[in-house]
Chains A and B, each alone.
Chain A
Amino acid sequence: MLEFVISKYNFWVYVILMMIGLYAMLAKRNLVKKLIGMNIFQTAIILFYVSIGVKKGPVQVPIILTEHGHVVQAIRATDYLNPLPHVLMLTAIVVSIATTGVALAVLILIYRRYQTLNEDEILALRQQRRETGA
């Protein structure tokens, strides 16, 4: 059992991080904490992608050596790190930063309107405004 956990520890770490993020999004009442949870959730997936491209041992980055237009070095997949997941994650990191930026801007709008970022207080305030017809 312990060996099972340790041999795949990168997956365990990402699953635990993801669940922390999900818990924060579901259970926290403060909207900023929800946003932080969302960030942890996204980061967990980035970690998963990065970890699947990693290899241990004497591996190099995949530079194909060519001379006179011919590949001079045979390419063995085991000698190289897979760079593709890392490249994909560069894009995903940009997406996650953009989402955070938009969410923070929206939080500023929410704060200006309700003077609070606690979801319970906002809902109570909304109910109150609806009853008074404002």
Chain B
Amino acid sequence: MVQQFPALIVVIPLMAALFMVPLGYFNRRLCHPWLVLILAATSTMAVGIMGQVILHGPISYRMGGWQPPWGIEYHIDQLNALMLILISGSGLLGAVYSGPSFAREIDGRQTMASSLYLMMITGLSGIVITGDLFNVFVFLEIASLSVYGLIACGGGDAPLATFRYIIMGTIGASCYLLGVGYLYISTGSLNLMDLNRLLPELYHTRVVLTAGALMLVGISLKMALFPLHAWLPEAYYEAPSAVSGVAAPLYTKVAGYLVIRIVYNLFDFHFFTRIFPILEILSWLAIIALLVGSLYAIAQTDLKKMLCYSVIAQVGYIVLGIALANRAGFSGAILTIINEVCTKSCIFLATGAIIYRVGDSRIVNLGSLFRRMPITMLAFTVGVFSMIGIPPTLGFFSKLYLIFACLEAGRWSFIAALLLSTILNVVYFFRVIRVACFEDPRPDYQRTEPYPEVAVEEAPLLMLLPVVAAAGAIILTGLGSHWIFLNLIRPIIPAGF
């Protein structure tokens, strides 16, 4: 049974998503327990896979018994297992949260939305578990298509935002597919490990250079790296709370994982530093992303939109770590991914809970929230601390590793940019905390349609629980960051640094 977990973790949510539809037509109230049950099962399997990887080393699972490189191989090392835990864990929190969130925001469409939610988890888990490049494309599109549907559920201008996202996402996936095609014509293989062995002889051919560039551009679009970020803020802003609380932490980070795989495992990173110096360009783009993202965030008057720009800034941190190409940078990138998933889950879900009670996410309307929703705001504050990088949260350690990486690479200007962006983080997050702490609610505030007149009080338990759990995860991962480094990151640091 344990040997089959790598296949089951993808197959079970997929089958459960199909089963959700008749179940929902039979009785809509069964959808939410079913969703939580399936996500709990995948989380258990993800932890099981992680245990196996730590105890027995990387797993190679052959789909259908076909030998690699001909068949599809699921190659799982510590990084894959870590991503699986992050995806299913964040998915579980979002699933618990989706009960009240869907009931308020998209009442009557819970069946299909829950089904799409499971499809999204299927796609994301598939991307991080497979070792076959074409398989990555298929799962990328499964994940994207389901999230298009989920975002389009949202109110207001959601359809237009979704349409833009579809166009941009498809261009990104197509560029990636084209790059894979170029690798296929030059090597005849699609298996990641196999390609890693075959490619070094071909590094100087033009077709491999083009393939590397196309794949990185395609994934950068999916990751919303700075000049290609335009689709992100609007799409996540318009999505229902439970959806943005899962999609925002996971999508850009899964794309970041793919960049790590492309730069370090598919190609040798020397290819990107010496033969084809794309990492130099990426590091400058990352710096621009983390400054511009923070500046845009300061300019926002709406909490949820501000967080969307903060996602763009954080993509900059991940890419910076990858692009510096040294031990500390690699570790910093992975720690930033972990931190981002925990923190953005916490903050986005807390924001959803605030919208659920207040009916609005404009910052001026958040007065005296600390008194009215103390637990939610406490969790929110923990998230903010991790975003800024105050010990003992994980955000502190991930930024520390990135600063060490800049020191090692001798990039003093990058350290200045990192510190500046931290100050900008303080500016835009503390503005929210100041209003919530010291200002009274505005007397002329009018509620809008789907939010009935209720006394602003603590969020319902099903929403509160995931927010608190995410805040707990931030502190736990921060305290355990040394363990994470020793057991999960050090074994997979690529040779040659």
Residues of A with C-beta under 8 A to B167: 25, 34-35, 38
Number of A-B pairs, beta carbon distance below 8 Å? 69
Q: Given that A41-B174, A45-B174 are contacting pairs, would A103 and B166 also be in contact in the complex, using a CB cutoff of 8 Å?
A: yes
A103/B174 in contact, CB under 8 A: no
- Bits for A41-59, please: 1 = Cβ < 8 Å to B, else 0: 1100100110010000000
A107-B157 contact in complex given A38-B170, A45-B178, C-beta closer than 8 Å: no
Q: Does B420 belong to the interface (CB within 8 Å)? A: no
Q: Does B14 count as interface, using CB distance less than 8 angstroms?
A: no
A35 to B162, CA, bound (A): 13
B105 at interface (Cβ–Cβ under 8 A)?
no
Residues of B146-178 whose CB lies within 8 A of A? 148-149, 152, 157, 159-160, 162-163, 166-167, 170-171, 174, 177-178
Tell me if B296 is interfacial: C-beta within 8 Å of chain A.
no
Quick one: closest A residue to B134, CB to CB? A88
Let me know if B48 is at the binding interface, CB within 8 A: no
- Contact present for A122 and B185 (CB under 8 Å): no
Given contacts A85-B184, A91-B138, A106-B148, contact A25 B171 (CB under 8 A): yes
Query: CB of A102 within 8 A of chain B?
Result: yes
A99 at interface by CB-CB < 8 Å: yes
The reply to whether B162 and A106 contact each other, CB–CB distance below 8 Å, is yes
User: Which residue of chain A has its CB nearest to the CB of B160?
Assistant: A110
Q: For chain B, which range describes its interface: under 10, 10 to 19, 20 to 34, or 35 or more residues?
A: 20 to 34
Task: Knowing A48-B181, A102-B149, A103-B166 are in contact, say whether A41-B159 is a contact too (CB < 8 A).
Answer: no
Question: Is A31 in contact with chain B by the CB < 8 A criterion?
Answer: yes
Decide yes or no whether B73 CB sits under 8 A from chain A: no
Interface string of A10-35 (1 = CB under 8 A from B): 00000000000010010000010011
20 more CB-based (< 8 A) A-B contacts, given A35-B167, A45-B177: A22-B171, A31-B163, A34-B167, A38-B170, A42-B174, A45-B174, A48-B181, A52-B184, A88-B134, A91-B134, A91-B138, A99-B166, A102-B145, A103-B166, A106-B148, A106-B159, A106-B166, A107-B159, A122-B160, A126-B157
List 20 contacting pairs A-B, 8 Å CB cutoff, sorted by A. A22-B171, A34-B167, A35-B167, A38-B167, A41-B170, A42-B174, A52-B184, A95-B141, A99-B141, A99-B166, A99-B170, A102-B149, A102-B152, A102-B166, A106-B152, A106-B159, A106-B162, A107-B159, A110-B160, A113-B159
Across chains A and B, which 4 residue pairs bring their CB atoms closest together, nearest first?
Answer: A109-B159, A110-B159, A95-B141, A103-B166
